[in-house]
Chains A and B, each alone.
Chain A
Amino acid sequence: DGGITQSPKYLFRKEGQNVTLSCEQNLNHDAMYWYRQDPGQGLRLIYYSQIVNDFQKGDIAEGYSVSREKKESFPLTVTSAQKNPTAFYLCASSPTGGNTEAFFGQGTRLTVV
């Protein structure tokens, strides 16, 4: 089945460590996105990529990094520079052109211990 797969579902990190969240899609979508969700908040855009080997910062990019080496994959690294990394992270993808909405993965819950 086509869709977006995020892994792992739950992730624990010690303070000071970098951690990478995986996002893979087999929908043949050009664009991919990372969002962060905190309690009582809507989703906020971290990074997005419209095409392979290119990406742009969203509203809260500080402390995060991404890469887009393949169309199917858009991993997010949460670095030690991120002051408050505990949150729920959602990945999404969408076509560019055409009239189709974004599709979301099932999310990764990151907890700093």
Chain B
Amino acid sequence: AQTVTQSQPEMSVQEAETVTLSCTYDTSESDYYLFWYKQPPSRQMILVIRQEAYKQQNATENRFSVNFQKAAKSFSLKISDSQLGDAAMYFCAYSPDYGGSQGNLIFGKGTKLSVKP
């Protein structure tokens, strides 16, 4: 069975600094998707960034980027120039490639990120 592990229950970063959240996963599949979701206090799940396993290039979305190491089954999230609005729970998630449907997700337990002014 696939699993997702986030080893950092809590992290803290100074405003404008850079922070990296860790995620490892276990799967025997070769095709899959990886995601980072943000859950602010409103509890709305917001997609931050997505990585297709077949792509070697790391995904980037503005201040958010990932370090995808397929052989090591590692998928870390880097947040640059941290802002107060980045404070939230961050969940790493895995989805098998079931005909393009990406909602059958396996989540890690999350990392609570605090941003200090």
Q: Which residues of A come within 8 Å of B, CB atoms?
A: 30-33, 35, 40-45, 48, 50, 58, 88, 90, 92-102, 104, 106-107
Contact = CB atoms under 8 A, between A and B. Distances in A.
Given A43-B107, A45-B104, A96 B43 contact: no
27 contacts: A31-B103, A32-B103, A33-B103, A35-B105, A41-B109, A41-B110, A42-B93, A42-B108, A43-B105, A43-B107, A44-B107, A45-B106, A48-B103, A48-B104, A93-B103, A94-B101, A95-B100, A95-B101, A97-B99, A99-B52, A99-B100, A101-B47, A102-B102, A102-B103, A104-B44, A106-B43, A107-B44
B100 A96 contact: yes
B103 A42 contact: no
A33 B104 contact: yes
Given A31-B101, A94-B102, A104-B44, A40 B109 contact: yes
B68 interface: no
Interface of B: 4, 33, 35, 42-45, 47, 50, 52, 91, 93, 98-110
Nearest to B44: A106
Contacts, number: 71
Contacts of B109: 40-42
